[in-house]
């Protein structure tokens, strides 16, 4: 799923979220939001209840890491990715989505669990190899 949604922080929640929001804006960092979603003819809107840096996702209940692959990812890049993932051992299982736009999408779970420490360093390295938005957390 993809697209854009509007995130709304109501005044009574703003006091609790102001510090995290200010830090995210100052660092131009990616954040995760938790809240209630409402949809109408104009799209979806999230009423924000929690806001935290993406680096805290593993501590906040992420159940895994999904890595998107396209047909353009060749065998040598897959080997580089394997090495990168093995060099970041940790608790989060990795899954893969192979996407061929307009034709198919396949989700793959390794037969033997591949577990990683999904920190900011790993995410940046994966995206450097595979492109922006090629990795995301599963909840």
Q: Give the model confidence (pLDDT) of 15-66 as tens digits.
A: 888 888 888 788 777 788 888 998 888 788 899 888 888 778 888 889 999 9
Q: In this model, does residue 80 exceed pLDDT 90?
A: yes
Any bridge partners for residue 45, and if so which?
6, 38
Given this model, what pLDDT does residue 3 score? Answer: 65
Predicted model pTM? 0.73
- Domain ranges in the chain are 6-53, 61-138
Task: Report the pLDDT averaged over residues 62-90.
Answer: 93
- For a pLDDT cut of 70, what percent of the chain falls above it? 98
User: What's the burial of 99, exposed, middle or buried (CB within 10 Å: 0-12/13-18/19+)?
Assistant: middle
3-state secondary structure of 104: strand
Per-chain mean pLDDT for the chain = 87
Q: Which residues contact 37 (CB under 8 A, 6 or more apart)?
A: 5, 44, 45, 46, 47
């Amino acid at each position: 799923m993809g697209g854009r949604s509007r995130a709304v922080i109501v005044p009574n929640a703003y006091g609790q979220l102001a510090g995290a929001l200010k830090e995210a804006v100052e660092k131009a960092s990616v954040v995760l939001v938790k809240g209630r979603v409402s949809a109408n003819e104009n799209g979806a809107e999230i009423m924000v209840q929690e806001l935290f840096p993406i680096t805290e996702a593993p501590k906040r209940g992420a159940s895994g890491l999904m890595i998107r692959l396209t047909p353009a990812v060749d065998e040598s890049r897959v080997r580089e990715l394997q090495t990168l993932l093995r060099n970041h051992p940790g608790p989060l299982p990795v899954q893969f989505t192979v996407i061929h736009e307009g034709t198919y999408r396949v989700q793959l779970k390794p037969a033997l669990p591949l577990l990683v420490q999904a920190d900011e360093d790993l995410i940046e390295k994966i995206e450097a190899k595979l492109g922006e938005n090629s990795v995301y957390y599963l909840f």
